Amino acid sequence: MEEKKKMIAKCIYDALNNNEITIEEIEAKVEVPKDKQNGDFSYPCFNLAKVMKNSPVNIANSIKENIVLPEEISKVDVVNGFLNFYLDSDNVVATVLSKIVKEKENYGSSNEGNGKNVIVEYSSPNIAKPFHLGHFRNTVLGKALYDIYKTLGYNVIGLNHLGDWGRQFGIIIEGYKRFKDEYDFDKDPLAALSDIYVRMNKICKEDESEMDKARENFKKLEEGDEEYTKLWEYFREVSLKEYKRIYDLLGSKFDSYNGEAFYNDKMGEVIDILDKKGVLIDSQGAKVIDVGPDMPPCIVLKSNGSTIYATRDLAAILYRARTYNFDKCIYITATEQILHFKQVFEAAKHLVDEKYQKGLEHVTYGMIRLKTGKMSTREGNVIYINDLIEEAIKKAKDIILSKNANLENADEVAKKVGIGALTFNYLKNNKNKDIIFDLDDTLRFDGETGPYVQYTYVRTKSMLEKAGFKVEDLDKEIDYSLLKETQEVELIKELQKFEDVLKRAATENEPSILAKYMIDVAASFSRFYNECQVATLEDENLKAARCALVYATSIVIKKGLGILGVECPEKM
């Protein structure tokens, strides 16, 4: 795609023969029209009007007259000041399919990132609390971005910045000492710990002397008290055990679980650096950094001398710059933390080189509301991810068995479909869009859902099986020029977009671009499937070419879904 844009820009440039306009400027404006009627690429001539002192339509016409089209482009049209370019179908069909057939599972991968270091910091729950729907959205987004960058040849580092430090641990320790005998920690330790926290927090809020005890506990923990450290380690361990179970299900990968506590002994240096630079300002006993007129200052030390969340984030930036030499460091959190990261990124200008300052990016996601129903009741509004996953798998199994009662490994398939449905549902929406979550919609096989795309994959597999296709068949000579039906050509053009889609998803940190593309591929395949026979064809040459197309589709769907964290069953 990008190569094609370059090629078109070069042709336009040559035709213009005007040294006030550069190829790069032209290339930046070459677009892929939404409606295929307007060609495969188009170039708006409006921005040239000023420079060339002529109307867009006249300019477009004169370019058309002078342009020399390469053989990949079959024609160019002028429509209302746009130049619309049409790719030569024969050429596209052959190049795209032979590329996929040759590269197989590697199709779509590239070295765009050139080994640059990208940190994706995601999930990062506060320990001793159950995982909720927001964390789930965060985690699937992060895992998808991780794999998108990886596929594009970046060196990706997945970090889980656990919320495992702060005064709340003084509260939990106090509560644990008092109430632990009332709970069954073997059964559901996180539910127990979060309940203890809620109870103790209430007590502390009502009674300042209790809060003092909690503060004292945390101070002892900060100083390395043996008993309290052991308790804290226990809280962290049981939390991680539970989270990791979920991460395994979602396919998320982390290179490190160093959370806030990890920076406990690394903040001193940060304060020193900032102090030496003279940027720490006294403000009612606290030490703050001025981060410009549009935001409140970034607090680094509170008036009692203790550090805060932001201090740990500053230490983390310094540590990550040194340890990972990052080109990009992406943070995924809910929108509530927008101000926090603006302040921290601004304050970090006093701490790390420009390269690192520029690499800091905050990615946010919208809220998830529940359609009222069973899932929203337990414990107020908190929905437990385990319940949700189990429910999704159970429902998926019912649906699958109702369609195919003899399916082998129904449990395994149900797991892939249930979890895939949840994951896909989050990712097909723009990350910042609020979602109203409805499990039944998510699991529908006929909408824009994960199961629909998974089912399309299964269909490619069963078509190939019925046609007696073997991967070795691809080594034989295949006559791609036989693929001339509109549905065939459209599908191939769709498959061609894969790499470009991945690049855009990375540039915008927006996995929904990939998820929506998967729906387009599936829809395009359905149109092909409805119109074009494969297994029953008598013409062996056409059959071989169509099998290659079906195979290529299966490659793109499986890989694209895999990047999004949705596994494909072979049958369902």
The residues assigned a catalytic role are 129, 132, 135
List the structure tokens of 429.
Answer: 């929406």
Nearer to ligand ARG (CB atom), residue 235 or residue 517:
235
List the structure tokens of 93.
Answer: 């069909």
Nearer to ligand ARG (CB atom), residue 168 or residue 524:
168
The yes or no reply on residue 256 touching ligand ARG (CB under 6 A) is no
Minimum distance of ligand ARG from residue 248's CB (angstroms): 20
Minimum distance of ligand ARG from residue 316's CB (angstroms): 6
Minimum distance of ligand ARG from residue 274's CB (angstroms): 18
The yes or no reply on residue 356 touching ligand ARG (CB under 6 A) is no
Q: Are 565 and 475 in contact (CB under 8 A)?
A: no
Nearer to ligand ARG (CB atom), residue 76 or residue 190:
190
- Which of 137, 161, 236, 328 is the binder for ligand ARG (CB under 6 A)? 161
Minimum distance of ligand ARG from residue 364's CB (angstroms): 11
Q: At what angle do helices 486-496 and 540-564 cross, to 10 degrees?
A: 40
The yes or no reply on residue 258 touching ligand ARG (CB under 6 A) is no
Minimum distance of ligand ARG from residue 497's CB (angstroms): 33
- Which of 56, 108, 113, 163 is the binder for ligand ARG (CB under 6 A)? 163
**Angstrom distance (rounded) from CA 33 to CA 510:** 20
- Which of 89, 117, 124, 429 is the binder for ligand ARG (CB under 6 A)? 124
List the structure tokens of 525.
Answer: 């395949």
Q: Are 511 and 505 in contact (CB under 8 A)?
A: yes
Candidate ranges 83-91, 121-129, 204-212, 389-397; the one touching ligand ARG (CB under 6 A) = 121-129
The yes or no reply on residue 331 touching ligand ARG (CB under 6 A) is yes
The yes or no reply on residue 307 touching ligand ARG (CB under 6 A) is no
Q: What angle do CA 198, 133, 501 make, to 5 degrees?
A: 150
What's the chain's Rg over C-alpha atoms? 28
The yes or no reply on residue 126 touching ligand ARG (CB under 6 A) is yes
* Per-position DSSP letters for 257-315, written without gaps between them: ---GGGGTTTHHHHHHHHHHTT-EEEETTEEEE---TTSPPEEEE-TTS-B-HHHHHHH
The yes or no reply on residue 345 touching ligand ARG (CB under 6 A) is no
Candidate ranges 124-132, 173-181, 211-219, 394-402; the one touching ligand ARG (CB under 6 A) = 124-132
Nearer to ligand ARG (CB atom), residue 313 or residue 567:
313
List the structure tokens of 371.
Answer: 């359609």
The yes or no reply on residue 197 touching ligand ARG (CB under 6 A) is no
SS3 82: strand
The yes or no reply on residue 175 touching ligand ARG (CB under 6 A) is no
Minimum distance of ligand ARG from residue 337's CB (angstroms): 7
Nearer to ligand ARG (CB atom), residue 42 or residue 124:
124
Residues 6+ apart with CB under 8 A from 261: 162, 164, 165, 232, 236
List the structure tokens of 175.
Answer: 């509560």
Binding characters for ligand ARG, 18-37, by CB under 6 A (x = yes) = --------------------
Q: Which residue is nearest to ligand ARG (CB)?
A: 163
Nearer to ligand ARG (CB atom), residue 139 or residue 333:
333
How many CB atoms sit inside 10 A of residue 329's CB? Answer: 24
Q: If you search the block for the tokens 């209430």, which residue do you land on? A: 202
Minimum distance of ligand ARG from residue 101's CB (angstroms): 43
Minimum distance of ligand ARG from residue 329's CB (angstroms): 9
- Name which of 373, 378, 498 is nearest 442 in CA terms: 373
The yes or no reply on residue 123 touching ligand ARG (CB under 6 A) is no
**Angstrom distance (rounded) from CA 31 to CA 304:** 57
Minimum distance of ligand ARG from residue 160's CB (angstroms): 9
Q: Are 301 and 286 in contact (CB under 8 A)?
A: yes
Candidate ranges 81-89, 122-130, 141-149, 217-225; the one touching ligand ARG (CB under 6 A) = 122-130
Nearer to ligand ARG (CB atom), residue 48 or residue 267:
267
How many residues bind ligand ARG, per CB under 6 A? 10
The yes or no reply on residue 346 touching ligand ARG (CB under 6 A) is no
Nearer to ligand ARG (CB atom), residue 335 or residue 409:
335
- Which of 313, 499, 500, 567 is the binder for ligand ARG (CB under 6 A)? 313
Q: Are 56 and 81 in contact (CB under 8 A)?
A: yes
Nearer to ligand ARG (CB atom), residue 124 or residue 487:
124
**Angstrom distance (rounded) from CA 334 to CA 141:** 12
* Per-position DSSP letters for 342-408, written without gaps between them: HHHHHHGGGTS-HHHHHHEEEEEE--EEEPSSGGGTTTTT---HHHHHHHHHHHHHHHHHHH-TT-T
The yes or no reply on residue 125 touching ligand ARG (CB under 6 A) is yes
The yes or no reply on residue 333 touching ligand ARG (CB under 6 A) is yes
Q: Are 32 and 8 in contact (CB under 8 A)?
A: no
How many CB atoms sit inside 10 A of residue 416's CB? Answer: 22
**Angstrom distance (rounded) from CA 88 to CA 102:** 21
Minimum distance of ligand ARG from residue 339's CB (angstroms): 12
Give 275-279 contacts, CB < 8 A, sequence gap 24+: 277/350, 279/350
The yes or no reply on residue 174 touching ligand ARG (CB under 6 A) is no
Nearer to ligand ARG (CB atom), residue 222 or residue 313:
313
Q: How far is CA 407 from the centre of its chain?
A: 32
Residues lying near ligand ARG in the complex (CB under 6 A) are found at 121, 124-126, 161, 163, 313, 316, 331, 333
